Amino acid sequence: MSSFPSPRGSEDPWGVAFDGVNAWVTIDGSDSLYVVDPADGEIVRTVYVPGLAGSVEIVDDHLLVVTAGNPHQLVRIVP
């Protein structure tokens, strides 16, 4: 078993998906998606999400992020 720190320190992760190489992490209350190297927790890149990022899934080589707000949105991102 291994672990890595949350991309924004003490802020709670909300969702995570693994694409076979990197972890894609959303943070509660953030409008960003963090691409993280699971070996050491280093942030590889940050991706802006229109709205507050919530849960995240990878489906058919696309990253789907549910955003908070009224109404909720489903945002598709190509990794």
Q: Which domains does the chain have, with CATH numbers?
A: 13-77 (2.40.10.480)
Q: Which of the pair, 38 or 78, is modelled with greater confidence?
A: 38
Tokens matching residue 14: 């909300």
Q: Structure pTM?
A: 0.81
The dihedral through the CA atoms of 51, 54, 69, 63 has a sign that is positive
Residue 11 — very low, low, confident or very high, per pLDDT cuts 50/70/90? confident
Mean pLDDT of 66-74: 72
pLDDT value of position 78: 66
Torsion-angle region of residue 51: left (phi > 0), alpha (psi -120 to 50) or beta? Answer: left
